[in-house]
Amino acid sequence: MISPKKYARTAKRLPNGFKTINEFFNHIYHDEEMIWMGQNTNHLHEENDIMCSMLESIENKDYCKYPPPEGFPELKDLILEDLCLNNRDNDILVTAGGTESLYLCMNNILDPTANVITCDPGYLIIDNFASRFADHVKSIPIYSKDNDYKLTPELVKQNIDKNTKLISLVDPLNPLGSCYTLEEIKEFADLAVDNDIYLIHDITYRDFAMKHHLAAEYAPDHTVTVYSFSKICGMAGLRIGAMISTPGIINSIRSTVINDLGTNIVAQKGALVALKSKPGWIDRIKNTTRSNQKIIKKAVDNVEGAFIPVYPSEGNMLVIDLHEAGVEPVEVADYLLLRKIFAREGAYTSKLFGHRYLRVSFSIPEACVRKFAVNFQDAVEALRHK
């Protein structure tokens, strides 16, 4: 019998009627009426050049060949240009999504004596990866207006020690949508340089923010930037992302790569066109998500005891705190699922505060958000009086 690993994932809650998490996701994936608000995916791209480029790639049978193992050079150049990092001495690896980049970074940077600073709430897979290669993970509670619901430089200073090797910054933060100011990014950069530690700057939701600042601009030799096409480009199911850093850091990370036959060639063809066409659609998507947030905010304000901790969110998701509303987020999620709205209770993104909130994403058509707004209010009312 194989012994359980210390980093085994926390079991995800199964909605009633499902035996496995895979069975549950298979069900909602194939339900064409389901409104998808549970995984921060972007459903606002319609038929466009991105789709056409991937269809053309399939028609040309490009998938019969392996792509360059580290990504098409043109795609790598476009990513650097998108981040305005092409004027620096940077290197880049294209990966099967930002999550693979995170894993490779943890594998390469950490050692059994190190500790890692993350935050709760947050993207818990980062804690999982870090626990595989480090001595331990310091997951700092950040669910408080005292620190603007984010990991601040001051909180890091209170928790850093001689064995701290890495700080994880998801910016904007999943699930709260909090984002860092220029002053905070500069202070994190100073902390990294002064203490000779690394920043993993996960910028998956960067393009939804009104303003965003890269740690790589201020601590290039101590930062790995993790990039994703999943959210703003609407390519979550294609699994494509990248990591960017100095040539020395990226060359070191190359030793941990296992996907040495390259990343999905069809996804790369779509990603190329996504970046080339981005100026033509980015404002429309950002404006829609901002407008959708207002609809959700109005519905939440109608529910006594409920509130949104971070508003406006700088991502494409937000948290609805229900702790004083007299209902459990789990029950609300189940109620909504029966009405074909997929949202997630907080336990998916927090070990400490998950019982308080529901997380919903809103990069979906406005009509779907309006349906959520009505059903969310109905859910709270019904569950309060059950």
In this structure, the answer to whether residues 76 and 217 fall within a common structural domain is yes
Residue 110 lies in a domain: yes
- What DSSP character marks residue 196? T
Please, what sign has the CA dihedral across residues 54, 58, 61, 66? positive
Closest Cα to residue 188, out of 145, 224, 157, 143?
A: 157
The domain spanning residue 126 has which CATH number? Answer: 3.40.640.10
Q: What is the pLDDT along the chain (386 residues), one digit of tens a residue?
A: 777 776 656 657 777 788 899 999 999 999 999 999 999 999 999 999 999 999 999 999 999 999 999 999 999 999 999 999 988 899 999 999 999 999 999 999 999 999 999 999 999 999 999 999 999 999 999 999 999 999 999 999 999 999 999 999 999 999 999 999 999 999 999 999 999 999 999 999 999 999 999 999 999 999 999 999 999 999 999 999 999 999 999 999 999 999 999 999 999 999 999 999 999 999 999 999 999 999 999 999 999 999 999 999 999 999 999 999 999 999 999 999 999 999 999 999 999 999 999 999 999 999 999 999 999 999 999 999 77
Give the max Cα distance, the chain.
61
- Residue ending a domain, among 232, 255, 277, is 277
Based on the fold, state whether residues 271 and 299 are members of the same structural domain.
no
Residue 87 and residue 171 share a domain:
yes
Residue 217 CA to residue 199 CA, distance in Å, equals 12
Both 186 and 231 in a single domain?
yes
Q: What is the CATH number of the domain that holds 357?
A: 3.90.1150.10
Specify whether 331 is located in the same domain as 233. Answer: no
What is the predicted pLDDT for the residue at 86?
A: 87
Distances in Å between the alpha carbon of 220 and those of 107, 115, 244?
Answer: 20, 21, 10
Number of domains in the chain: 2
pTM recorded for the entire structure: 0.96
Q: Of the candidates 277, 298, 328, which is a domain's last residue?
A: 277
Same domain membership, residue 341 and residue 304: yes
For residue 15, the model assigns a pLDDT of 76
Is 180 contained in some domain?
Answer: yes
Same-domain check for residues 208 and 181: yes
Question: What's the confidence (pLDDT) of residue 14?
Answer: 78
Q: Which amino acid is at 51?
A: M
Note whether 67 and 263 are within 8 A (CB). yes
Closest CA to 364 of 275, 291, 267: 291
Q: Which residues pair with 361 in a beta bridge?
A: 317
Query: Which helix or strand (DSSP H or E) is residue 361 part of?
Result: strand 357-361
Is residue 5 domain-resident? no
Q: For residue 9, what pLDDT is reported?
A: 63
Residue at which a domain ends, from 277, 308, 329: 277
Do 272 and 287 fall within a single domain? Answer: no
Domain encompassing residue 374: 21-46+278-384
